[in-house]
Chains A and B, each alone.
Chain A
Amino acid sequence: MSNVPEELRYAKTHEWVRQEDDGTLVMGITDHAQELLGDLVYVELPEVGRTVQAREELAVVESVKAAADVYGPVTGEVVGINESLVESPELINRDPYGEGWMVRLKPESAEEFANLLDAAAYSALAESEED
């Protein structure tokens, strides 16, 4: 059973999102996703300043055995990226919701965030996909 923090929101494509006090959103991939991928060895992050549509490919994570696309959970602008992941992609495995955060976004609207899955809905989704 993977860890699904109550206070976060989630996309069906296994990204988590946290709303910060300043209105920006911080995102990464979930514990369920990092477990499926295995040891991560490479992360391709977007450029700061880039805009992304909801559900558009935003980043790529590569484990030893597979590459996976990471999608924008909402429409917005990339205002920050976690540079530590370049040297230490394993931070995503170790601490997917903390030190393994990937991108900070300035969302275009507040609506899309509200439409993301809550912890209960995401847990149900993750469980249905588990072996």
Chain B
Amino acid sequence: MSQRTALYPWHVSIGAKMVDFAGWEMPLHYGSQLDEHHCVRRAAGMFDVSHMTVLDLSGARVHAFLRYLLANDVALLEGPGRALYSCMLNEAGGILDDLIIYSLSESKYRLVSNAATRSKVVAWIARQGEPFAVEVAERTDVALVAVQGPLARQAVLRVLDRDLQVLTSSLASFQAAWKRETLVARTGYTGEDGFEIMIPRERALDLVQALRAQDVTPAGLAARDTLRLEAGLNLYGADMDESVTPLESGLGWTVGWQPENRDFIGRKALKAQRVKGERWKRVGLLLQEAGVMRAHQRVLTADGGEGVVTSGGFSPTLKRSIALARVSANTSQQSGTVQIRQRLHPVRLIKPPFVRHGQPCFGAAA
């Protein structure tokens, strides 16, 4: 039996094409995923992401717990209202999930992770948190709406209550503010400016209707995927999973190696891999002709390296096919081929992202 967010009736009422995603009935699009994608790049779009896992962690030792649990270091957070992107690893250094952690107070943090990994992540955190006497509250009473695009900020400020509006107007990227039960964070998954708003379920409808009145366009999961791919952002389960480490997934920058005496789950295995050498690295692919790259297609680099497409698709902004791929760590080539059906097609290897501020931006592959 599929789960539904608080906004399910609203999605249906405005003509969403609903699909199953990780056991949730979610809007794939509301008519045209390409239009929704362009709206986010040029104006503002909003996504119902209430299916994601929201956990509130509290206790006297929660800070110490998180420094052990996560590969990135929460000690980097300067105080309440700051957020951090991190991977959560197993003992082998494999990625269990990627998530954002928000500091709410010295003894309270909020963690937002993927819908598809919910039961695994909740069980893991409960187990790892026990020795630290951390209380874990799964916030199924919270709806999550992401508003993204160059005009997102002004739209969001217009719909917030006065107090929260004042607090929100001074937020920089990866900062959050809250008032009573509503939390607003300047974070997102599209490569655009915007906010992710956490609000009690029963107020979600009012929020999206107010945003719609500000000309924010409802956007579905299909647009969310093309946007994040253009932004070079990994999708857990596709671009990374437990079989690879952050170092092999383009996320080496999220590992907090310093201070050296911070033990975290997977540190030892990562250190060993750093010494021995990673097996893979992440690159971006630009298809040099018409066609569409898709996950699992074979990649060959010009120097005989092998690899696989982890996420492929079409970039509406660039109007060509782009992909993220995992290739041999020691390849140094900028060109290669990808196998689509029976034929080999030329690709250029680049360092993601593909699009920034709505414009193409390709650097040479690492």
Contacts and interface: CB of A to CB of B under 8 A. Distances in A.
Interface stretch (A1-9, A13-21, A34-42): A34-42
Contacts of B251: none
A22 B34 CA distance: 38
Interface string B315-354: 0100001000000000000000000010000000000000
Interface centre among A39, A60, A62 (most CB of B within 10 A): A39
Contacts of B290: 42, 86
Q: What bracket does the count of chain B residues touching chain A fall in?
A: 10 to 19
Interface string A86-117: 10001000000000000000000000000000
Prevailing SS type, chain B contact patch: mixed
Given A64-B222, A65-B222, A41 B292 contact: yes
Nearest to B291: A42
A38 B292 contact: no
A129 B28 CA distance: 18
A60 B340 CA distance: 12
B294 A39 contact: no
Contacts of A42: 290-292, 314, 321
A60 B341 CA distance: 11
B34 A39 contact: yes
Nearest to A39: B34
A64 B313 contact: yes
Contacts of B341: 60, 67
Contact of A67 (B222, B226, B292): B292
Given A38-B222, A41-B314, A42-B314, A67 B294 contact: yes
A38 B30 CA distance: 11
Interface residues of A, number: 12
B33 A62 contact: no
B173 interface: no
A38 B314 CA distance: 13
A77 B61 CA distance: 75
B33 A39 contact: yes
Interface in A47-92: 60, 62, 64-65, 67, 86, 90
Interface in B195-239: 222, 226
Nearest to B29: A38
B33 A38 contact: yes
A64 B226 contact: yes
Nearest to B226: A64
A62 B226 contact: no
A97 to B, nearest CB: 19
Contacts of B222: 38, 64-65
Interface in B29-49: 29, 32-34
Interface of B: 28-29, 32-34, 222, 226, 290-292, 294, 313-314, 316, 321, 341
Given A39-B33, A64-B222, A65-B313, 20 more contacts: A38-B28, A38-B29, A38-B33, A42-B291, A42-B314, A42-B321, A44-B291, A62-B291, A64-B33, A64-B34, A64-B226, A64-B292, A64-B313, A64-B314, A64-B316, A67-B292, A67-B294, A67-B341, A86-B290, A90-B34
7 contacts: A38-B28, A39-B33, A41-B292, A62-B291, A64-B34, A64-B292, A90-B34
The 5 closest A-B pairs by CB, nearest first: A41-B314, A39-B34, A62-B292, A64-B314, A42-B290
